[in-house]
Structure 1
Amino acid sequence: MKALTETMARALVEHPDSVKVTEQQHENTLVLTLTVHKSDMGKIIGKQGRIANALRSVVYAAASHQDKRVRLDIAE
């Protein structure tokens, strides 16, 4: 999940070296936190959050075959 999220985010931003994804395990939930350069936040979120929702949809679909839940948080 981490590699998938990084790959998608790097393709969207102007500062791909600033993209960082961290994983944390909480009970049965895997929490992925996506951090990007401050100037790239708008590109990751998109108009009305459409890009962020699309990223989450792809990650959730990729995780659907696992027994644990996945959550994608976007941080500055």
Structure 2
Amino acid sequence: MSAQATDIAGLVSSVVEPLVEFPDDLEITSSEADDGTILVEIRVHEDDAGKVIGRQGRVIKAIRTLARAAASRTDTHVEVELID
């Protein structure tokens, strides 16, 4: 895993961690595909999923936008997914 994937996962973690009530259940993993795409997966306690998604998906969209903006500095594509 590249340093950039780790940095983006850390960025996502720093945004998501204050939102959740069960930080012990928070798990953020990142992996890099063959084409250079970075996939960041967020796993949270089932009671926290709504907080991370937000009303009409606004919070998760903002997290995705922030991660993509950080990766755009090096022309890297990022996908952020909330795993049930």
The TM-score, its normalising length taken from structure 2, stands at: 0.84
Residue 30 (structure 1) aligned to one of 8, 19, 38: 38
Over the matched positions of the two proteins, sequence identity in percent amounts to: 34
- What RMSD in Å do the two structures reach over aligned CA positions? 0.9
Q: Is residue 6 of structure 2 the alignment partner of residue 7 of structure 1?
A: no
Unaligned runs of 5+ in 2: 1-7
Runs of 4+ in 1 over 2 A off after TM superposition: none
Q: Is residue 27 of structure 2 the alignment partner of residue 20 of structure 1?
A: yes
The TM-score, its normalising length taken from structure 1, stands at: 0.93
Unaligned runs of 5+ in 1: none
In the other structure, the counterpart of 2:53 is: 45
Structure 1 position 59, deviation (Å): 0.8
Q: Is residue 75 of structure 2 the alignment partner of residue 67 of structure 1?
A: yes
Count of matched residue pairs: 76
